[in-house]
Copies of this chain bind each other. A is one copy, B any other.
Amino acid sequence: MATTIVSTVELPEKAREMLRSYNADLYELPKLGKDEQLNALSKAEILMCWCGREFDLTSNIKYMPQLKMIQTFSAGVDHLPFAAIPNNIEIYSNAGAYSVPVAEHAWAMILTLAKGLHKPTLNAREYLNSELTSPHKITESTLLVLGTGGIGREIARIGKEGFRTYNIGINRSGKPAEYFDEVYPTDKLLDVLPRADIVAIALPLNKYTRGLIGERELRALKRGAIVVNVGRGDVVKEEELYRVLKERQDIRFGTDVWWVHDGREEIPPRTPLTALPNFLGTPHIAGGAQREIAEYAIIRAVENVIRYLRREVPMNRVNRDDYV
Closest B residue to A103 by CB, please name it.
Answer: B139
By the criterion CB–CB under 8 Å, are B267 and A128 in contact?
no
By the criterion CB–CB under 8 Å, are B280 and A122 in contact?
no
Interface string of A128-163 (1 = CB under 8 A from B): 100000110111000000000000000000100111
Cα–Cα, bound, A284→B128 (Å)? 10
State the interface size on chain A (CB cutoff 8 A). 45
Indicate which residue in B104, B163, B288 contacts A137 across the interface (CB closer than 8 Å). B104
Report A231 CB to chain B, min CB distance, Å: 17
Interface of chain A residues 265 through 324 with chain B (CB within 8 A): 267-268, 274, 280-286, 288-290, 292-293
Stretch at the interface among A40-48, A84-92, A112-120: A112-120
Given contacts A121-B283, A124-B285, contact A134 B104 (CB under 8 A): no
User: For A121, what are the chain B residues with a Cβ–Cβ distance below 8 Å?
Assistant: 283
Closest B residue to A118 by CB, please name it.
Answer: B117
By the criterion CB–CB under 8 Å, are A108 and B115 in contact?
yes
User: For A135, what are the chain B residues with a Cβ–Cβ distance below 8 Å?
Assistant: 101, 105, 285-286, 289-290
User: For A101, what are the chain B residues with a Cβ–Cβ distance below 8 Å?
Assistant: 135, 137
The reply on A59 being an interface residue by CB < 8 A is no
Report A239 CB to chain B, min CB distance, Å: 19
By the criterion CB–CB under 8 Å, are A268 and B104 in contact?
no
Closest B residue to A135 by CB, please name it.
Answer: B289
Given contacts A112-B112, A122-B282, A137-B292, 16 further A-B contacts (CB under 8 A): A104-B139, A107-B162, A108-B111, A108-B112, A108-B115, A109-B117, A117-B118, A117-B282, A127-B285, A134-B289, A135-B285, A135-B290, A137-B293, A158-B162, A161-B162, A162-B162
Q: Could you write out 19 A-B pairs with CB less than 8 Å apart?
A: A101-B135, A104-B114, A108-B112, A108-B114, A111-B112, A117-B117, A120-B280, A120-B281, A122-B267, A122-B274, A127-B283, A128-B289, A134-B289, A135-B290, A137-B289, A137-B292, A137-B293, A158-B163, A162-B163
